[in-house]
Chain A
Amino acid sequence: KQEVTQIPAALSVPEGENLVLNCSFTDSAIYNLQWFRQDPGKGLTSLLLIQSSQREQTSGRLNASLDKSSGRSTLYIAASQPGDSATYLCAVRGTGTASKLTFGTGTRLQVTL
């Protein structure tokens, strides 16, 4: 059974800092990995999708890497802003087109002024 862990559970940084969020998973046989953002009481916004054959994806100030063999992914946020404050969720999808996402417990990020 796939298990996804995110460290740290919570993080507070001053505005402008670069930061890294970590995600690890126990079964390396994945189809893809997605990073999401969730604002309090809201749904999920997809940030980045990395297919199993890819090493990284970038979107603006966000960069996600994937090391499938070691079961690890990182989300790098450059020049953090108060608007980046949210919970960040990592989710991995098993192999097969009908397979489901397994979510991590999330990292709650606060960017202070």
Chain B
Amino acid sequence: SAVISQKPSRDICQRGTSLTIQCQVDSQVTMMFWYRQQPGQSLTLIATANQGSEATYESGFVIDKFPISRPNLTFSTLTVSNMSPEDSSIYLCSGRQGGNEQFFGPGTRLTVL
């Protein structure tokens, strides 16, 4: 399966600021996704990143708070805007090629003070 890298791996941010997380896949993939995992919880899908168009957001997530870009088939960014302590989570990028298995990046551990 493809390998996903994320930058940064972790960050500590002040409330009210924004952080952009980068996701790079080592091969082209049809689908890319962004997930959030709050402490002690399972994964929640934030949005599907669509190449060249606006992302498709899940209920409870909005573009103003989590703008997403996907300029090509191997790269995507997620921005967490106007952060509050409740945004402290692990953010995971994921990819899938067609009907095959889905794979995940190592995650970005975000702490908001």
Contacts and interface: CB of A to CB of B under 8 A. Distances in A.
Chain A, interface SS category: strand
A101 B103 CA distance: 11
B113 interface: no
B42 A89 contact: yes
A49 B98 CA distance: 14
Contact of A49 (B45, B101, B105): B101
Contacts of A61: none
A105 B105 contact: no
A42 B6 CA distance: 12
A97 interface: yes
Given A42-B106, A43-B104, A43-B106, A103 B99 contact: no
A106 interface: yes
A43 B102 contact: no
Nearest to A6: B42
A28 interface: no
Contact of B99 (A43, A97, A105, A106): A97
Contacts of B4: 43
Contact of A100 (B42, B48, B92, B104): B48
Interface in A69-113: 89, 91, 93, 97-98, 100-101, 103-106
B12 interface: no
B92 A43 contact: yes
B102 to A, nearest CB: 6
Interface string B92-113: 1000001111111111010000
22 contacts: A32-B99, A42-B107, A43-B4, A43-B92, A43-B104, A43-B105, A43-B107, A44-B43, A44-B103, A46-B1, A46-B101, A51-B99, A91-B43, A93-B102, A97-B30, A97-B99, A98-B48, A100-B33, A100-B48, A101-B102, A103-B42, A106-B42
Interface of B: 1, 4, 30-31, 33, 41-43, 45, 48, 90, 92, 98-107, 109
A-B CB proximity, top 4 nearest:
A44-B104, A43-B106, A49-B101, A43-B107
